[in-house]
A = this chain, B = another copy of it.
Amino acid sequence: MILPDIVEALLLASPEPLDERQLLSLLADEGVDRGELEAALARLRRNCEGRPLELVRVAGGWRYQVRREFSPWVSRLFPEKVGRYSRALLETLAVIAYRQPVTRGDIEAIRGVTVSSQIIRTLEAREWIRVVGHKEVPGRPALYRTTDKFLADFNLEALEQLPPLPADEDKTNTD
Residues of chain A at the chain B interface (Cβ within 8 Å): 1, 5-6, 8-10, 12-14, 26-27, 51-53, 64, 66-67, 69-70, 73-74, 76-77
Contacts and interface: CB of A to CB of B under 8 A. Distances in A.
Given A26-B73, A76-B26, A77-B26, A52 B5 contact: yes
Taken together, the copies of this chain in the complex come to: 2
Contacts of A76: 26
Given A13-B70, A13-B74, A13-B77, 7 more contacts: A9-B52, A9-B53, A9-B66, A9-B70, A9-B74, A10-B73, A26-B76
A135 B133 CA distance: 66
Contact of A6 (B14, B52, B53, B64): B52
B70 A5 contact: yes
Specify which of A52, A66, A69 lies most central, judged by the most chain B CB atoms within 10 Å of its CB.
A52
B73 A27 contact: yes
19 contacts: A1-B70, A5-B52, A6-B70, A6-B73, A8-B52, A9-B53, A9-B67, A9-B70, A9-B74, A12-B52, A12-B53, A12-B64, A12-B66, A13-B66, A13-B74, A14-B77, A26-B73, A26-B76, A27-B73
